[in-house]
Amino acid sequence: MEKIARLGIKTIRYPVVWERMAPTHPDQIDWSWTDERLGTLRRLGMNPIAGLLHHGSGPLYCTFDQPDFPDQLARFARRVAERYPWMTHYNPVNEPLTTARFAGLYGHWYPHQTDNNSFCRILLNECKGIALAMREIRQVQPAAVLVQTEDLGKTYSTDTLQYQADFENERRWLGYDLLCGRVNEEHPLWRYLLKSGIAAEELRFFEENPCPPDILGLDYYLTSERYLDDAVENYPPHLAGGNGKHRYVDIEAVRAPVGIAGAEALLRETWERFKLPMAVTEVHLGCSREEQMRWLYQAWQTAKNLIAQGVDLRAITPWAALGSFDWNSLLTRDEGYYEPGLFDVRASSPRSTALATLVRQLLHSDAAVHPVATEPGWWQPQAGATALPKRPLLIFTNSRSAATAFTAICQVRGLAHHVVSNENLDAVQLRRLVDSLRPWAMVTVVETRGEIYPNPMSTGHTGSIRNVSHLVAVCQETGIPLLAFSNDFVFDGTKGMPYTETDAVCPPCTTSETCVQQEILIRDSLEKAMIVRTGAWLNPWGTDDLFRVSLDKVAHGKPLVVPDNVRFSPSYLPEVIQHSLDLLLDDAYGLWHLSNVGEISWAEFTKRTACAAGADPRHADAWYERQRELSAVQPQLSTALASQRAALMSDMEAVLHRYWQEKLTS
């Protein structure tokens, strides 16, 4: 709470969720958690908007498809108002129309129905529950404000399906129309509601008991605008659905020929229809960090434009502050997929992200935001046509694999970048390059792995120390952040468990000592520097990585010499780079270990690589030679890495399977 308050945020949507607080009986309410948190918000001067039911269906004893749902929700709402009489803002049911569609029409959520009656019944129950809940709340707190959220969408279509698009564009307002008392015999959906099994007297309740929102809370996502296409043969079969008259697919309009109208147009349309105060109550894009920043920045600019045009727009809300789990599948799969918000919770304490920094900047001055935030997003037709040149990410490496991987990922993420060889860097030329390009950050691959495991007879690379010192000097003079890559060579493998960021280095050879020297130089010289240690890279785009080396050896009948007593944690390079760039944008400086979770011996990795390539498992041992000392069995060593800072990387087994499949099909 304190971290959110320090951003300058004064109002926050906070869950006071019925089914969590009173899961078994309406009179058995556990207030302990909410008492403490709401008390903290009040102490911090933050105004909570109490959400009583998010996308849940209510507690087991009273779900939203049951007749007594409205009365029971109202009963709980009154108890909340009596417990917290100082609280003024409420959101009794979040996105009722969207919830009714997903639960009653599409079958995604409980009760998993797919018919119009179920959809209409759930929607009416939710809207009646909102009206009754606000009646009870206002008897306790007359100044209570209804903030009613809903997805702000629009549907487009081919000519054949225009009738369906027209219907869906009318239906999107139905929840608001019910609450505002607008649904009568003249309403375009009156006959649809009666045909779906809703009685006229049920609809007249809303005419007689209007409960118009004090603030329309519009939730706008890149997937909110839809396109209906009857050319189903152009799409995978599982996407095809229909309405009983035509078969069609329902896809994101941003990926269709029509494109999207965008938040500003749809918010203005909402304003013209209702003339009620509005807020954009959810702003989020499940994408890379810079695209999340661009989405939030554009929402802010949209809000400013609409306010200047006379629209009563009160706020925008980054959603969600602590991120979300499994919303990429609408909670239909339990995969633990996490999308960070203002903070990343994959650590012992929530870690501030670039979005939090952007919020703080927008609240105080929107002139000093990160340069990547002001660039067009990939969803915009004018992307790539900016008047001013983009400030790039400047990448120094002598590794072809690193250059290829960074280029591929930066292109996908829409990050301007410039790759330069770090062989024999000249200090003067480097400074000229930096002054010319004005990079927002620089990257150097401190040391690439030219061997599977460091040889005690290896020599260091004094040139790499010199090159890094040039970069450090420029960063000191300009304040440009530096991202540097190191590896598990800095440890001798004798710890007996994975090494973390707090472990002391213990280089086993000269090559390892070079890595350590570079780390020390960067760490001691720069405040704004991040050092990422990895295990051996698994690069799906590389032609000289461990996989190809293994296959080439076998193809020529030559075994690969690897140690069978040394274990390591692999690092899937695309994932390493993605997380590194996110951390760089988050200003997450310092030392980070980024390797996949788990460890494997070099001999086992080689054997399984052979098997993945189709070798007979009985003969796979012939694909490597075990490296042993002549006089004794070598001790078991492990340079496996783990992180104390955050659990960002995927499980090793899943990554190995993916990596081998990518290499075999490339």
Identify whether residues 580 and 491 lie together within a single domain: yes
How buried is 635 (Cβ within 10 angstroms: 0-12 exposed, 13-18 middle, 19+ buried)? Answer: exposed
What residues have CB less than 8 Å from 129, skipping those under 6 apart? 53, 64, 69, 70, 73, 74, 92, 93
- Check residue 608 and give its pLDDT: 86
Which letter, b or e, does each residue of 394-404 get, where b requires 16 or more Cβ atoms within 10 Å of its Cβ?
bbbbbbebbbb
- Check residue 334 and give its pLDDT: 93
Nearest to 127 by CA among 13, 12, 21, 212: 212
Q: Which run of H or E residues covers position 619?
A: none
Round to whole Å and give the CA distance between 441 and 393: 5
Identify whether residues 369 and 266 lie together within a single domain: yes
238 domain-assigned: no
Q: Which of 327, 343, 374 is the last residue of a domain?
A: 374
Identify whether residues 651 and 612 lie together within a single domain: yes
Structural domain that includes position 559: 393-665
Identify whether residues 266 and 344 lie together within a single domain: yes
Residue 617 pLDDT > 70: no
What is the number of structural domains in the chain? 2
Residue 393 pLDDT > 50: yes
- Check residue 448 and give its pLDDT: 46
Confidence band, pLDDT 50/70/90 cuts, at residue 633? low
Residue 165 pLDDT > 60: yes
- Check residue 511 and give its pLDDT: 79
420 domain-assigned: yes
Interval 263-288 mean pLDDT: 97
217 domain-assigned: yes
Query: Helix axis angle, 462-478 relative to 427-437, nearest 10°?
Result: 40
Identify whether residues 152 and 202 lie together within a single domain: yes
Interval 247-270 mean pLDDT: 96
Q: For position 122, which CATH number holds?
A: 3.20.20.80
382 domain-assigned: no
Identify whether residues 182 and 94 lie together within a single domain: yes
pTM of the model: 0.93
Identify whether residues 266 and 413 lie together within a single domain: no
Identify whether residues 369 and 406 lie together within a single domain: no
172 domain-assigned: yes
Identify whether residues 359 and 405 lie together within a single domain: no
Residue 573 pLDDT > 50: yes
Torsions phi, psi of 636, nearest 5?
Answer: -75, 125
Torsions phi, psi of 227, nearest 5?
Answer: -135, 130
- Check residue 651 and give its pLDDT: 95
Give percent above pLDDT 90 in the chain: 78
Q: Which of 320, 347, 374 is the last residue of a domain?
A: 374
Question: Using one digit for the tens of pLDDT, what is the confidence trace for 51-62?
Answer: 999 999 999 999
Round to whole Å and give the CA distance between 442 and 475: 8
Identify whether residues 63 and 121 lie together within a single domain: yes
248 domain-assigned: no
- Check residue 122 and give its pLDDT: 98
Give percent above pLDDT 70 in the chain: 92
Round to whole Å and give the CA distance between 408 and 615: 31
Confidence band, pLDDT 50/70/90 cuts, at residue 450? very low
598 domain-assigned: yes
Give the mean pLDDT of the chain.
91
Q: Which of 347, 374, 401 is the last residue of a domain?
A: 374
Question: Using one digit for the tens of pLDDT, what is the confidence trace for 493-529?
Answer: 999 999 999 999 999 888 788 889 999 999 999 999 9
Q: Give 56's Cβ-side CA count (13 Å radius).
A: 20
Identify whether residues 438 and 317 lie together within a single domain: no
Q: For position 432, which CATH number holds?
A: 3.40.50.720
- Check residue 95 and give its pLDDT: 98
455 domain-assigned: yes
Interval 465-482 mean pLDDT: 93
Provide the token pair at 471: 């970069």
- Check residue 55 and give its pLDDT: 93
- Check residue 555 and give its pLDDT: 64
Identify whether residues 333 and 430 lie together within a single domain: no
